[in-house]
């Protein structure tokens, strides 16, 4: 079976093929379904290796429809690039490196999410973009109001326009903010619609309802967690989940020296951010079912500060949610202080 490495790019991609006879074929093609079909559609089934990227999933699915075996590899796996020179980098060399890695087995395949979870990830990404847009608008409004010696009252983000109207804002400022204020209604409506779609999706998944039994965990956080892991059985322990989400400390060790730094921040950014926010909510919560977690986090805060305590809580929350999903159990207070590994 032929071996093919493809260095994918947005517009053009580089192919390196090594046939069973040892022949080396290098091609540069436009990154389109039609061109892939023309080049690879009429040849015998081959093994193909791609790096994970924005384009990798649709390319992999299309090539699989043509009868090929496709592997999407983790670009952060250093041994995959062992045959590539660090002094010279070209698309041809990258494609050849991927081809060699496939032949040698020097790659780490990534998990490919199911269609259902890919859809949920897309919905979460859209909602996140809308919320960040509204947050940016609110920050601008607050800054302009403070410039006039006023202060916008705290409260729900969707009530920003009403709070602004209750202030004695100068006419000039009202005129300046008018284009921005006009955008709040459609943005709020879009966020509400996104929340409704996510709630409908949440009702279809029993595991999301189970994760929401933990105080401070809402449907958005639960769905983001489920979408990030996709299949709980592929993780042998809670620590593996914490590392997958980038919530474990980085480490630089050599000989008798050992140094641990900040968290690695690998994996899904949105899920990690939501878990950290859940950690902050626990620090501020008076709910009795998270009292044990809060006491533990306060001890960390006294030694290391509240920011590190919130991240430590996020790591613990990830482990708890994993255990609940793995064991098929709702949250109970003893889970928060037990060994969930």
Structure tokens at 172: 């000039």
DSSP 3-state of 321: helix
Can you name the residues that pair with 71 across neighbouring β-strands?
49
Q: Give the per-residue pLDDT at 298.
A: 95
User: Contact at 8 Å (CB) between 211 and 225?
Assistant: yes
Higher pLDDT: 50 or 155? It is 50
* pLDDT at residue number 337: 54
CB contact set of 5 (below 8 Å; sequence gap of 6+) = 15, 16, 48, 49, 95, 96, 97, 98, 99, 100, 101, 102
Give per-residue pLDDT as tens, 89-139.
899 999 999 999 999 999 999 999 989 899 999 999 999 999 999 999 999
Q: How far apart are CA 210 and CA 217, in angstroms?
A: 10
Instruction: Please tell me the pTM assigned to this model.
Output: 0.84
**Mean pLDDT value across residues 50-78:** 95
Confidence band for 335, pLDDT divided at 50, 70 and 90: low
Q: Residue 340's pLDDT is what?
A: 41
Residue 330 has pLDDT above 90, yes or no: yes
The pLDDT mean for the chain works out to 92
pLDDT of residue 283: 95
Flag whether pLDDT at 159 surpasses 60: yes
Q: Write the DSSP string, 266-312.
A: -S-HHHHHHHHHHHHHHHH---GGGHHHHHHHHHHHHHH-HHHHHHH
Question: Which pLDDT score, from 0 to 100, does residue 257 have?
Answer: 75
Whether the per-residue pLDDT at 151 is higher than 50: the answer is yes
- Kind plus residue range of the DSSP H or E element containing 226: helix 219-229
Confidence of residue 251 (pLDDT cuts 50, 70, 90): confident
H or E element in which residue 144 lies:
helix 115-147
Contact present, 312 and 297 (Cβ < 8 Å): yes
- Least confident piece of the model among 1-5, 76-80, 203-207, 266-270: 76-80
Confidence band for 338, pLDDT divided at 50, 70 and 90: low
DSSP string, 94-115: HHHHHHHHHHHT---BPPPPPH
Q: Give the integer Cα–Cα distance in Å for 290 and 41.
A: 57
**Other beta carbons less than 10 A from residue 56's beta carbon:** 19
Per-residue pLDDT at 155 exceeds 90: no
Pick from 41, 46, 42: nearest CA to 23: 46
pLDDT digits (tens, 9 = 90+) for 162-183: 999 999 899 999 999 999 999 9
Most confident among 88-97, 249-258, 332-341 (mean pLDDT) = 88-97
Is a pLDDT exceeding 70 seen at residue 75? yes
Instruction: Tokens for 304, please give them.
Output: 């290391």
* Greater pLDDT, 338 or 256: 256
Q: What is the pLDDT of residue 189?
A: 97
Tell me what pLDDT residue 341 has: 39
Quote the CA–CA distance of 194 and 213 in Å, as a whole number. 22
Strands (E), the chain: 3-7, 12-18, 24-30, 47-51, 69-73, 249-254, 257-263
The region of weakest confidence among 96-100, 197-201, 254-258, 276-280 is: 254-258
């Amino acid at each position: 079976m032929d071996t093919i490495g493809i260095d994918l790019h947005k517009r053009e991609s580089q192919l390196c093929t090594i046939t069973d006879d040892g022949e080396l074929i290098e091609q540069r093609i436009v990154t389109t379904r039609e061109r892939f079909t023309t080049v690879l559609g009429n040849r015998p089934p081959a093994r193909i290796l791609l790096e994970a990227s924005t384009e990798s999933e649709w390319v992999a699915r299309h090539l699989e429809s043509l009868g090929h075996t496709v592997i999407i590899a983790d670009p952060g796996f250093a041994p995959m690039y062992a045959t590539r020179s660090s002094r010279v980098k070209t698309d041809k060399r990258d494609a050849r490196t991927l081809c060699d890695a496939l032949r040698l087995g020097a790659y780490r395949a990534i998990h490919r999410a199911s269609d259902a979870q890919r859809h949920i990830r897309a919905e979460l990404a859209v909602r996140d973009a809308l919320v960040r847009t509204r947050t940016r608008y609110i920050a601008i409004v607050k800054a302009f109001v403070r410039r006039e010696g006023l202060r916008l009252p705290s409260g729900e983000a969707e009530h920003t326009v009403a709070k602004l109207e209750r202030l004695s804002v100068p006419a000039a400022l009202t005129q300046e903010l008018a284009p921005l204020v006009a955008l709040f209604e459609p943005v709020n409506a879009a966020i509400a619609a996104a929340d409704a779609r996510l709630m409908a999706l949440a009702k279809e998944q029993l595991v999301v309802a189970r994760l929401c039994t933990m105080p401070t965990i809402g449907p958005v956080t639960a769905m983001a967690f489920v979408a990030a892991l996709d299949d709980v059985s592929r993780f042998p322990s809670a620590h593996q989940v914490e590392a997958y989400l980038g919530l474990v400390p980085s480490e630089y060790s050599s000989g008798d020296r050992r140094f641990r730094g900040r968290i690695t921040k690998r994996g899904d950014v949105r899920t990690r951010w939501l878990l950290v926010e859940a950690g902050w909510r626990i620090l501020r919560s008076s709910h009795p079912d998270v009292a044990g977690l809060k006491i533990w986090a306060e001890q960390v805060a006294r030694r290391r500060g509240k920011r590190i305590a919130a991240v430590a809580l996020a790591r613990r929350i990830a482990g708890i949610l994993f255990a609940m999903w793995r064991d098929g159990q709702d949250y109970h207070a003893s889970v928060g202080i037990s060994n969930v590994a």
